[in-house]
């Protein structure tokens, strides 16, 4: 069976660094930190009092007020980002068959804010089960995909993907597979997350996953730095329009890049900790390269998972050295989580978007907040510390790993006719 080539024709983003793709990329390239003290709720009693929030977000600037009240913040983010991507791709009822346009959209946790509010309201009452009639449809993970399809009338494959922090990379791979197998012409894919709440911050604090650098939140996310002390929570959404090459050419669409391949593996090791030697990470990068029919020498840039956790950063580095060998020293490596924080189920989409822009612009965004070298990391690796670097980026690989041992990697490359 001949597999179709798959290209990216539209992008959308709502992030701690900006509310459009242009703003997001500009601030990534500039090395801006999106972290500050949390504004959404009272954090005075919490161990961690900062995060990378989408600042000054008013859903009624994008959505009808009545509509906005019926959907959780994570779904609001998804609709805003996907609207930008659909518009960017120039998709209309005149140039697509809606039965052949799908939505595969991810979230790691879904409507946690809605869940928290409803449970608190119930617990503070007299025990009478009074719940908002939109409680369940606001909370569930699949509703973002459903809402996007209803908003645009897309009737192709439609579902959610959840694999913790690997969710939206898995969604991109599923979209890629559906299109190259001929099951759809166009798929809107990506991920969204909004869990900066008492339950979210408190829960991650309880498992000692978050940085507690309250004296200096701007520099709290410091991947690969000796003094890293945990990840910084982020929120936002990233959306991509994937399309078969023949369909894109037929309607005269602009093409950002080509999706080359993807892989997915499991650590089968621990509920939260990575395999200490990066076994699952090694396997998933090898799987993505094999799927793309590319060699290690074809990759110029890796946007690493790089969460700023003591164990994770070391394990991923070991995996890169194992897979890429001597070529690892010719790569640029960076963690954009140093700027956006860890956006959980949206991380893969936002980081794939960073890879797409790197391939398009030939610029590698930096890993900011580096102050002290970690003696456990190979000093010859180029982590693109503190400043973006201009270089030819023909192909980039994006890694995302999730609690439960889920690993996903996707490769994008320059489009060539």
Q: What tokens does 318 get? A: 């070991």
Clarify whether 269 is annotated catalytic. no
Taking each helix axis from N to C end, the angle separating 310-324 and 279-292, rounded to the nearest 10 degrees, works out to 40
Report the half-sphere exposure of 58 (CA within 13 A, side-chain side).
4
- CA angle 112/117/59 to nearest 5° reads 70
The verdict on whether 35 is a catalytic residue reads no
Catalytic residue among 275, 305, 370, 406: 305
Cα torsion 305, 311, 316, 317 to 10°: value is 120
Q: In angstroms, rounded to a whole number, what is the distance separating the alpha carbons of residues 114 and 136?
A: 9
Question: Is 165 among the catalytic positions?
Answer: yes
CA–CA distance from 269 to each of 74, 188, 275, 321, 407 (Å)? 30, 33, 6, 20, 12
**Helix (DSSP H) and strand (DSSP E) numbers for the chain:** 13, 14
Helix (H, G, I), strand (E, B) or coil at 304: coil
Beta bridge partners of 332: 301, 382
Which among 75, 165, 257, 343 is annotated as catalytic? 165
Burial class (CB in 10 A: 0-12, 13-18, 19+), 315: buried
Distance CA 196, CA 341 (A): 12
- Measure the CA–CA gap between 287 and 409, rounded to whole angstroms: 8
Q: b/e for 88-101, b at 16 or more Cβ within 10 A? A: bbebeeeebeeebb
Residues with Cβ within 8 Å of residue 221, at least 6 apart in sequence: 33, 35, 52, 211, 231, 232, 308, 337, 338, 339, 341, 342, 369
Distances (CA, A) of 147 to 74, 77, 183, 318, 339: 12, 11, 21, 41, 29
Catalytic residue among 342, 355, 370, 406: 342
The set of catalytic residues is 165, 305, 342
């Amino acid at each position: 069976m001949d597999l179709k080539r798959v290209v990216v024709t539209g992008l959308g983003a709502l992030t701690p660094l900006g509310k459009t793709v242009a703003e997001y990329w500009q601030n990534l390239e500039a090395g801006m930190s999106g972290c500050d003290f949390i504004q959404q709720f009272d954090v005075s009693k919490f161990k961690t009092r900062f995060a990378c929030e989408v600042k000054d977000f008013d859903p009624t600037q994008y959505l009808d007020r009545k509509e906005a009240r019926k959907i959780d913040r994570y779904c609001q983010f998804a609709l805003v980002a996907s609207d930008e991507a659909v518009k960017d791709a120039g998709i209309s009822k005149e140039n697509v068959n809606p039965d052949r346009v799908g939505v595969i959209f991810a979230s790691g946790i879904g409507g946690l804010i809605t869940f928290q509010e409803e449970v608190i309201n119930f617990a503070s009452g007299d025990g009478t089960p009074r719940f908002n009639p939109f409680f369940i449809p606001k909370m569930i993970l699949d509703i973002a995909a459903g809402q996007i399809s209803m908003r645009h009338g897309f009737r192709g494959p439609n579902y959610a993907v959840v694999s913790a922090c690997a969710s939206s990379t898995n969604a991109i791979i599923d979209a890629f597979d559906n299109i190259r197998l001929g099951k759809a012409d166009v798929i809107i894919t990506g991920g969204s997350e909004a869990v900066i709440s008492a339950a979210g911050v408190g829960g991650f604090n309880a498992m000692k996953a978050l940085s507690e650098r309250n004296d200096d939140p701007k520099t709290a996310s410091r991947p690969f730095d000796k003094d890293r002390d945990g990840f910084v929570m982020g929120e936002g959404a990233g959306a991509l329009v994937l399309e078969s090459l023949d369909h894109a050419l037929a309607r005269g669409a602009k093409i950002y890049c080509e999706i080359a391949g993807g892989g997915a593996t499991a650590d089968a090791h621990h509920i939260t900790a990575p395999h200490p030697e990066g076994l699952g990470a090694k396997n998933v990068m090898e799987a993505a390269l094999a799927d793309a029919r590319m060699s290690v020498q074809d990759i110029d840039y890796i946007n690493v998972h790089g969460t700023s956790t003591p164990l994770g950063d070391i394990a991923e580095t070991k995996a890169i050295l194992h897979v890429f060998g001597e070529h690892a020293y010719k790569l640029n490596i960076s963690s954009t989580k140093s700027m956006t924080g860890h956006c959980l189920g949206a991380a893969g989409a936002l980081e794939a978007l960073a890879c797409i822009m790197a391939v398009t612009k030939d610029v590698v965004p930096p890993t900011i907040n580096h102050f002290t070298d970690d003696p456990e990391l190979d000093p010859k690796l180029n982590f693109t510390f503190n400043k973006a670097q201009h270089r030819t980026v023909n192909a980039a690989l994006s890694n995302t790993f999730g609690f439960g041992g889920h690993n996903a990697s996707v490769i994008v490359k320059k489009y060539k006719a």
